């Protein structure tokens, strides 16, 4: 049965970087016999311009049917004045919500050729390869009550941190399963010292560990101490699992340890479908970068690495994912750079398409 993939290029630089991903997908079909049934549709501002909505019901239905969704980027100043409910970002949020993508995987890997781009010392970040698993559908961003209310003579803003045992348990399982594919270590981060939700989080993660994953090494850390340790010695971690708010903060912090936002992929995973594969959405961490859209200056590596994550987590092709990452590492080691990776020494950057071609050449050399 064919592997099915829905591609949603989106807005800004999304179509440009996704064009390079299509070339990589074609390479795996022709050179490795790994064939994908690929369909393409609109999301975000592009969908609004065509249909008056950032995500049509038909596209949403297709996303529920395929093995994986690969998204480029959404948004841009062109659509800033739209009503909140039809802004481009609502398309992405609808995908996450209706697919119930509760585990957000944010790897922070520092390619050796880019170690000097980090704000930390080379020896601290060289060889860094950690994974943050952020709970994506619960917590303070979704809890009720929420809103801005008037109390007496002033207004008060309210957001509620709320988690159920089942919400915590399922993201903990995701983290433990990932750890088994890596170094078999999980660090759970919360604020059990001051938050009841943190106490519950720690208790449930421990229960899941003891009952189902006793072979995985588990440690606990307060999230603020975790932030400090990430900047002190990030290589002490393997998999970090944490809630929606802390995961949002810690994953952005970890992202910058690697030196460039243009290098970072992500995956959002849900419950297994009938074929045993999780519902999944893969996307680069970077935004739509409207200031450089259409200029061929965007770095396609984060989007290509997002496809690499799809190979690993949706299609059980870990060896081919390794092949792709090795090719990218080789390209970077050769000195090839897009504009966002140019150091103070200057030089002529590769275009988006040239970087894609360089990766294809490096893939050929792996054969």
Domain ranges of the chain: 1-107+260-367, 129-257
Active-site residue, selected from the candidate residues 26, 129, 141, 235:
141
Is 129-257 a CATH 3.40.718.10 domain? yes
Token pair recorded at residue 296: 């061929």
The domains spanning 1-107+260-367 and 129-257 adopt the same CATH topology: yes
| Catalytic annotation present for 364 | no
Burial of 152 (0-12, 13-18, 19+ CB in 10 A): exposed
Q: Kindly report the CATH number that applies to the domain delimited by 1-107+260-367.
A: 3.40.718.10
Question: Which residues 6+ apart lie within 8 Å of 218 measured at CB?
Answer: 186, 187, 188, 205, 206, 209
Q: Which among 248, 313, 330, 340 is annotated as catalytic? A: 248
Q: Respond yes or no: is residue 23 known to be catalytic.
A: no
Please confirm, yes or no, whether 224 is among the known catalytic residues.
Answer: yes
Q: Is 248 in the active site? A: yes
Q: Is 141 a catalytic residue?
A: yes
Q: Global pTM?
A: 0.90
Instruction: Tell me which of 224, 235, 322, 361 is the catalytic residue.
Output: 224
Task: Give the C-alpha separation, 228 to 189, whole Å.
Answer: 12
Rg (CA), the chain: 21
pLDDT in tens, the chain (367 residues): 679 999 999 999 999 999 999 999 999 999 999 999 999 999 999 999 999 999 999 999 999 999 999 999 999 999 999 998 999 999 998 999 899 999 999 999 998 888 888 888 999 999 899 999 999 999 999 899 999 999 999 999 999 999 999 999 999 999 999 999 999 999 999 999 999 999 999 999 999 999 999 999 999 999 999 999 999 999 999 999 999 999 999 998 988 888 777 788 999 999 877 777 889 999 998 889 999 999 999 999 999 999 999 999 999 999 999 999 999 999 999 999 999 888 766 678 999 999 999 999 999 999 9
Beta bridge partners of 131: 107, 239
């Amino acid at each position: 049965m064919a592997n099915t993939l829905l591609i949603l290029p989106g807005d800004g630089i999304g179509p440009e970087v996704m064009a390079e991903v299509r070339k990589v997908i074609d390479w795996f079909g022709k050179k490795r016999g790994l064939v994908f049934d690929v369909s393409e549709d609109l999301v975000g501002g592009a969908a609004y311009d065509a249909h008056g909505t950032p995500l049509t019901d038909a596209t949403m239905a297709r996303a529920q049917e395929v093995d994986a969704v690969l998204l480029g980027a959404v948004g841009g100043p062109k659509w800033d004045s739209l009503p909140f409910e039809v802004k481009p970002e609502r398309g992405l949020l609808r995908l996450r919500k209706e697919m119930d993508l509760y585990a957000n995987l944010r790897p922070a890997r520092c390619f050796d050729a880019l170690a000097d781009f980090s704000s930390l010392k080379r020896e601290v970040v060289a060889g860094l390869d950690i994974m943050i698993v952020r709970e994506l559908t619960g917590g303070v961003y979704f809890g009720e009550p929420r809103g801005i209310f008037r109390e007496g003579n002033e207004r008060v803003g309210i957001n509620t941190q709320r988690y159920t045992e089942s919400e915590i348990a399922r993201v903990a399982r995701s983290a433990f399963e990932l750890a088994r594919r890596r170094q078999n270590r999980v660090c759970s981060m919360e604020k059990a010292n001051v938050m009841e939700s943190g106490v519950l989080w720690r208790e449930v993660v421990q229960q899941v560990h003891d009952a189902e994953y006793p072979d995985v090494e588990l440690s606990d850390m307060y999230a603020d101490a975790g932030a400090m340790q990430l900047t002190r010695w990030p290589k002490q971690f393997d998999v970090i699992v944490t809630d929606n708010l802390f995961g949002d903060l810690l994953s952005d912090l970890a992202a910058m340890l690697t030196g460039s936002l243009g290098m970072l992929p992500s995956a959002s995973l849900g419950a297994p479908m009938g074929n045993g594969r999780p519902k999944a959405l893969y996307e680069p961490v970077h935004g739509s970068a409207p200031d450089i859209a259409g200029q061929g200056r965007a770095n396609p590596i984060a989007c290509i690495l997002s496809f690499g994550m799809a190979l690993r987590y949706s299609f059980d092709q870990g060896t081919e994912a390794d092949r792709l990452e090795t090719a990218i590492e080789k390209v970077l080691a050769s000195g090839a750079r897009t504009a966002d990776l140019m150091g103070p020494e200057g030089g002529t950057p590769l275009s988006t398409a040239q970087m894609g071609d360089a990766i294809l050449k490096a893939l050929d050399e792996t054969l």
